Amino acid sequence: MTATTLKFLLLGSDGQVGRELQRTLGILGEVIPTTLSGGEGLRLDLLDTEAVTATVKQQRPDFIINAAAHTAVDKAETEVDLSRRLNADVPELLGQLASELGARVIHYSTDFVFPGDSDRPYREEDRPAPISVYGKTKLEGEQRLLASGADALVLRTSWVYGNYGHNFMLTMMRLFREKGQLSVVDDQIGAPTWSRMVAEATAQIVHKLPTLTPDTPSPYGIYHLTAAGETSWYGFASSILELMGESCTIQPVPTRDYPTPAKRPAYSVLDNSKLKQRFGLQLPDWRVSLQQCIADRAS
C-alpha cells in the first residue's frame, strides 16, 4: 500500500478539526468528506446506523477518521442521550465496521476525560475520571472503540480553536469588538491547541504508521496530542487581545464567579511525551501556534 492510494472516510468534515483534515489528509490520498448537512461531500447522519454501515461498506476506506462529536459541553448536561449516541455509540460502531473490513480508525478525544486534580500533566496511563457528561461520554467512546478490536488511534486533544467554527478565540475576538470590558476565568489551566496543528499531526501519524509496523510494538491506542505549554482562559484571552492589537480590559475571575451547567477540570494539561517517542512529533508552544493562526487570518 503506497501513500498515494490511501482512502480516508472523513466524518465531521465541517467541524474545526475536520475542515483542516480535508487539506492535510488530501496530501496523502483520497478524502471522502461527510457532513450532517452534506454541504461539501456526502451527507451522512452518524446517528443513522444503517447509513453509516452502508457508507463504510460501500467506500471501503483504508482509514475512518472521526472528527465528528457532540462537542457542546454545557448542552451535553441535558442532552445526555444525544451526547452518548454520538460520542460513545458511534465510535464503537466505527470500530466494529473497521474491524470487519480491515480499515483503521483515527478518533479524537479530550482532556475532559480527566478530573483536573493532578499536579503534573496527565499521561495516557493516568486514571480518567470525567466530571461532565461530555467527558464521560467521550471516555466511553474511547473505551468502546478500543474494545472493538479495530486498529484504532485515539488522539486526545484540548481547548481547540481555529479560524473556523465555534471556539473561544473567535468568541473573544467578537467580544473585544462588542465590549470594552470582559471577565475571563483564570483558575482553569490547559493547553489551547490550533485545529490545524491537530490535523497536521494526524497526517504525519498516518504517514509514519507503515514505518512503525510490524516490527515495532503496536502503534495503536491512546495518545495525547496538544500544543506545548499551558495557560488559563484568562492568559489565552490576554494573548489573543495582544496579538489582535485591540483595546479591551480583561478582568481575571475565579470559576465560581462564572457558573456553567457543566463542571470543567481545574487542570487538564496533557503530557505529550508518548506522541514524541512513538511518532517523533512535538507540537509547538501554544503561543507560537496562536500567533500563526492569527497571522493566517490576515493572509
Cβ proximity to ligand NAP, 155 vs 250, nearer residue: 155
- 68 counts as binding ligand NAP under rule CB under 6 A: yes
50-86 b/e (C-beta count within 10 Å ≥ 16 → b): eebeebbeebebbbbbbbbbbbebeebbebeeebbbb
The set of cell numbers assigned to 251 is 478582568
Q: Which stretch binds ligand NAP (CB under 6 A): 40-48, 54-62, 230-238, 276-284?
A: 40-48
**Has 258 been annotated as catalytic?**
no
- 110 counts as binding ligand NAP under rule CB under 6 A: yes
Cβ atoms 291, 297 nearer than 8 A: no
- 284 counts as binding ligand NAP under rule CB under 6 A: no
Query: Which 86-105 positions form the footprint of ligand NAP (CB under 6 A)?
Result: 86
Q: Please say whether the dihedral angle defined by the alpha carbons of residues 120, 91, 149 and 279, taken in this order, is positive or negative.
A: negative
Cβ proximity to ligand NAP, 67 vs 206, nearer residue: 67
Q: How far is CA 153 from the centre of its chain?
A: 12
What's the first-to-final CA gap in the chain, in angstroms? 37
Which of 9, 21, 160, 250 binds ligand NAP (CB under 6 A)? It is 160
- 163 counts as binding ligand NAP under rule CB under 6 A: no
Cβ proximity to ligand NAP, 196 vs 279, nearer residue: 196
Cβ atoms 258, 269 nearer than 8 A: no
- 29 counts as binding ligand NAP under rule CB under 6 A: no
User: Which one of 108, 122, 134, 220 is the catalytic residue?
Assistant: 134
- 16 counts as binding ligand NAP under rule CB under 6 A: yes
Which of 6, 8, 14, 185 binds ligand NAP (CB under 6 A)? It is 14
Which of 49, 54, 84 is CA-nearest to residue 69? 84
Count of residues making up the chain: 299
- 71 counts as binding ligand NAP under rule CB under 6 A: yes
Binding residues for ligand NAP, rule CB under 6 A, total 26
In the bound state, the residue with its beta carbon closest to ligand NAP is 15
Q: 3-state DSSP: the chain helix, strand, coil percent, rounded to 5?
A: 45, 20, 35
Element (H, E) at 7: strand 6-11
- 275 counts as binding ligand NAP under rule CB under 6 A: no
Q: Which stretch binds ligand NAP (CB under 6 A): 61-69, 208-216, 236-244, 254-262?
A: 61-69
Which of 132, 157, 188, 231 binds ligand NAP (CB under 6 A)? It is 157
Which of 171, 11, 202 is CA-nearest to residue 90? 11
Query: Which 123-152 positions form the footprint of ligand NAP (CB under 6 A)?
Result: 138
Cβ atoms 254, 184 nearer than 8 A: no
The set of cell numbers assigned to 287 is 503561543
**CA dist., res. 222 & res. 141, Å (int):** 12
**CA dist., res. 74 & res. 64, Å (int):** 28
Shortest distance in whole angstroms from residue 139 CB to ligand NAP: 11
- 45 counts as binding ligand NAP under rule CB under 6 A: yes
Catalytic positions are 134
Binding site for ligand NAP (CB under 6 A): 12, 14-18, 35-37, 45-47, 67-69, 71, 86, 108, 110, 138, 157-160, 165, 195
